[in-house]
Amino acid sequence: MRVIRILIAGTLLSLPAFANIPKDTEVQIKNARKADASKSDLTVPERKFVEKATSDNIAEIELGRLALEKSQNPDVKNYAQMLVDDHKKSLDKLKTIANDQKFPVPTSATTRAQAEYDRLAKLNGDEFDRDFMKLMEKRHDEAVKSFQQASNQVQNEDLKSYINNTLPTLKEHKEKATK
C-alpha cells in the first residue's frame, strides 16, 4: 500500500499546479476555515458569536466609511467617525482573542450587511443621513441583544471580558443613533 501511495503522490506532484482539479475543490477551499475551527477551544456558541461579531464589526466600519464619504451633515460624520474608530478597536481585540484560541475569523461582512451598504450607497443628502441613522439604530439594537445573550452563554474568560467591555460602547452607539 505504501508504494501505491508514494507513486500516486509522486504522480500528482508532477502535474501542473491546477491540472485536473475537480470543480468541487473551490468549495473545499472556501470551507477550509471551518475545518481549522475544529482546532479551537471555543465552544460552538462562542464560535458563532465570534463570527457574527467579527462580521458586524467589519460592516460597521464599512458603513461608517460610507457615511464619511456621502454625508454632508457634521453630526452624522462625527457619528460615522466614532463608529469607524470604535469598531476598528473592537475588531482588533476580537481578532486577538480568536487568534489566541486558534479560531479563524471572517474577513468580510455578511451578505445582508452588503445589501444594506449597497442600498445606502445609492442615496444622497438628507435621505442618506436619515436612512443611515435608522440603520445604525437597528443594527446596534441587534448587536446589544446579541452581546447580552452571549454574555450568558460564553465561558471563555477573554471573550467574556471582551463582551462586557464592548457592550457599553454598543449601547452608546445605539443611543446616539436615536437622537
**Structural domain of 81:** 42-178
In this prediction, what percent of the chain has a pLDDT beyond 90?
74
Residue 21: pLDDT above 60? no
Over residues 18-46, the mean pLDDT reads 49
On whether the pTM is more than 0.85, the answer is no
Task: Name the average pLDDT for the chain.
Answer: 82
Asked whether residue 100 is assigned to any structural domain, the reply reads: yes
Is the CB of residue 72 less than 8 Å from the CB of residue 125?
yes
Asked whether residue 135 is assigned to any structural domain, the reply reads: yes
Asked whether residue 22 is assigned to any structural domain, the reply reads: no
Asked whether residue 34 is assigned to any structural domain, the reply reads: no
In this prediction, what percent of the chain has a pLDDT beyond 70?
78
Asked whether residue 93 is assigned to any structural domain, the reply reads: yes
Could you tell me the CATH number of the domain that includes residue 133?
1.20.1260.10
